[in-house]
């Protein structure tokens, strides 16, 4: 029987073909969306036949879930919590914004989550669950980092609001860039955070 691709990925040894398929799938989704991604196109990119893709990922739902799960895990791996110190938190948050810009905006993409959110009704519960976990991960991290930046105590509501604001800014800015085709739009929509990060401790 098949193992659940959605469960094994973190522990099992990597399979080169499987990884190549997931790479191609992620790329395809970012380019044209989930619905437009086809097994045959992925197979062609990897250099195998579409039936072989089904061997590794029985269904499309299975594949997109695996891709989303990997996306989440890779992100979590790079998302280390800074020291509970103002300057470290400031640095970490600046780096978070830089990372978003480099991996998403600079490549004229939206984030995988934004794309999948737009096609959420086509996804299965398992995929949606990965989506939720990914955002919760980001929001929790942002909340913690923001709280580290302030010497005074913040209510949980205040912390949540800051985290949501920052994440919304970044995602929205990437949509603006994509829609208008103007890369400057990202900085226009987010530079204020750079200043605010410096003065958020007050």
43 near a copy of itself, rule: CB under 8 A: no
User: Which member of 76, 79, 118, 126 binds a copy of itself (CB under 8 A)?
Assistant: 118
Contact criterion met (CB below 8 Å) for 131 and 113: yes
Long-range contacts of 30-35 (CB under 8 A, 24+ apart): 30/109, 30/110, 30/112, 30/115, 31/109, 33/115, 33/118, 33/119, 34/64, 34/115, 34/116, 34/119, 34/122, 34/123, 35/119, 35/122
Shortest separation between residue 188's beta carbon and DNA, angstroms: 36
Stretch that binds a copy of itself, among 6-14, 18-26, 52-60, 166-174 (CB under 8 A): 166-174
31 near a copy of itself, rule: CB under 8 A: yes
Name every residue whose Cβ is closer than 8 Å to that of residue 171 and which is 6 or more positions away in sequence. 110, 111, 114
User: Which of the residues 5 through 64 are near DNA (CB under 7 A)?
Assistant: 15, 17, 36-41, 43, 47-52, 54-56, 58-61
Shortest separation between residue 186's beta carbon and a copy of itself, angstroms: 9
Nearer to a copy of itself, 18 or 166 (CB): 166
CA angle 69, 134, 116 (to 5 degrees): 75
180 near a copy of itself, rule: CB under 8 A: yes
Among a copy of itself, DNA, none, the one that 181 touches (CB under a kind-dependent 5 to 8 A) is a copy of itself
Nearest CA to 26 out of 138, 103, 136 is that of: 103
- Radius of gyration, alpha carbons of the chain: 19
119 near DNA, rule: CB under 7 A: no
Nearest CA to 135 out of 149, 120, 147, 122 is that of: 120
Q: Which residues bind DNA (CB under 7 A)?
A: 15, 17, 36-41, 43, 47-52, 54-56, 58-61
Q: Which residues bind a copy of itself (CB under 8 A)?
A: 31-36, 110, 113-122, 128, 131-132, 135-136, 160-161, 164-165, 167-173, 175-176, 178-181, 185, 188-192
């Amino acid at each position: 029987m098949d193992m659940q691709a959605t469960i094994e990925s973190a522990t099992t040894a990597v399979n080169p073909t499987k990884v190549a398929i997931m790479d191609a799938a992620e790329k395809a989704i970012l380019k044209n969306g989930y619905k437009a991604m086809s097994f045959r196109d992925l197979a062609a990119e990897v250099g195998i036949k579409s039936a072989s893709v089904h061997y590794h990922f029985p269904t499309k739902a299975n594949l997109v879930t695996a891709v989303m799960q990997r996306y989440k895990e890779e992100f979590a791996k790079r998302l280390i919590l800074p020291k509970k110190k103002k300057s470290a938190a400031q640095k970490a948050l600046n780096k978070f914004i830089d990372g978003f810009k480099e991996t998403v905006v600079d490549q004229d993409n939206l984030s995988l989550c934004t794309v999948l959110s737009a096609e959420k009704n086509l996804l299965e519960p398992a995929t949606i669950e990965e989506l939720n976990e990914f955002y919760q991960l980001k929001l929790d991290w942002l909340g913690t980092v923001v709280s580290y930046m302030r010497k005074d105590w913040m209510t949980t509501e205040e912390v949540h609001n800051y985290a949501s604001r920052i994440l919304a800014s970044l995602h929205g800015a990437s949509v603006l860039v994509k829609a208008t085709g103007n890369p400057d739009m990202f900085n226009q929509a987010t530079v204020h955070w750079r200043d605010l990060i410096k003065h958020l401790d007050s």
